[in-house]
Amino acid sequence: MSWTDWMRGQEVEPSLYAADLSRLGDQVRTLLDAGARIFHFDIGDGHFVPPITIGPIVLQWISPLVHEAGGRLDCHLMTMSPERHFGAIAEAGGDSVTVHFEACSDLERTMADARSRGLGVGVAFNPETSPQVVGPAVRGADLVLCMSIEPGYSGQAFMPAALERVAVLRGLLPAGIHVQVDGGVGADNVRELREAGADLLVAGTSIFGAADPGSAYESLARAAV
Ligand code: DX5
Ligand code: ZN
């Protein structure tokens, strides 16, 4: 099983980093009921990005809920030496790991390590990194994540330059590699991002900051078709 089997054409992925963590299970259930199936889980180490975020200890409580409903957990590793965390993530129920291009000295080896553990594989790149540099280096990946903010925190404004970067990236990649976008994604830009070629749309604040996260997910998912 791989990303292509998990996806229903395109997916809006709630980013659990932006959830109310005092009632994370309830929020996950609400979104499963609203139709979400792929959840984005942000792991930050306080080095590659300033904050220490959530990690496998939290993931292990959420993964049974998501898996029982046929869902998947897409882990975004905003960390140095991401391979150090693969074992714990796989054990906690993570289904895929996305590592940062900027954090890997031997990307091919890191991707092979993830694959050997049965994990899906993504490669993320920051706003300063050129898609032309990343494109040729990610042939073994399932997805490439174009950051539309500086990684680290939820709630930042979308960088409009990401639209062009997504389009350039899409043009460089073979059809089988999915394009994901993360940061400031919401009702204002989801359709344009789809048109630019993104088929995985990560949304934190635009879902969890809404009065009704379930219906915020539903309307984003409708707009992303
Ligand atoms: C932060 C994370 C994002 C974040 C997105 O760098 O990678 O996934 O949770 O949150 P919003 O949608 O609020 O920008
Ligand atoms: Zn993320």
Structural domains of the chain ordered from first start: 3-224 (3.20.20.70)
Distance 32 CA to ligand 1 centre (A): 19
Active site residues: 42, 182
The minimum-distance atom of ligand 1 relative to the CA of 155 is 13
Stretch 94-103: mean pLDDT: 98
The minimum-distance atom of ligand 1 relative to the CA of 17 is 9
Distance 182 CA to ligand 1 centre (A): 6
pLDDT tens digits, one per residue of 35-80: 999 999 999 999 999 999 999 999 999 999 999 999 999 999 999 9
CB of 42 closer than 6 A to ligand 1?
A: yes
Rounded Cα distance between 69 and 36, Å, is: 10
Say yes or no to pLDDT of 153 above 80.
yes
Phi, psi for 97 (deg, rounded to 5) = -125, 135
The protein residue whose alpha carbon is closest to atom 6 in ligand 1 is 151
CB of 209 closer than 6 A to ligand 1?
A: no
Q: Kindly indicate the confidence band of residue 113, based on its pLDDT and cuts at 50, 70 and 90.
A: very high
Distance 34 CA to ligand 1 centre (A): 20
CB of 170 closer than 6 A to ligand 1?
A: no
The minimum-distance atom of ligand 1 relative to the CA of 183 is 14
Rounded Cα distance between 125 and 147, Å, is: 6
Say yes or no to pLDDT of 132 above 90.
yes
Residue 185 has what pLDDT? 98
Residue 225 has what pLDDT? 92
Say yes or no to pLDDT of 1 above 80.
no
Distance 112 CA to ligand 1 centre (A): 26
Closest CA to 144 of 210, 107, 100, 81: 100
Which uninterrupted H or E stretch holds 114?
helix 107-116
pLDDT tens digits, one per residue of 159-186: 999 999 999 999 999 999 999 999 999 9
Residue 131 has what pLDDT? 98
Task: Give the C-alpha distances (Å, rounded to integers) separating 39 from 70, 170, 192, 200, 223.
Answer: 11, 22, 22, 11, 18
Residue 142 has what pLDDT? 98
CB of 120 closer than 6 A to ligand 1?
A: no
CB of 100 closer than 6 A to ligand 1?
A: no
Residue 215 has what pLDDT? 98
Structure-block tokens of residue 42: 């942000």
- Tell me the pTM: 0.98
Rounded Cα distance between 60 and 221, Å, is: 26
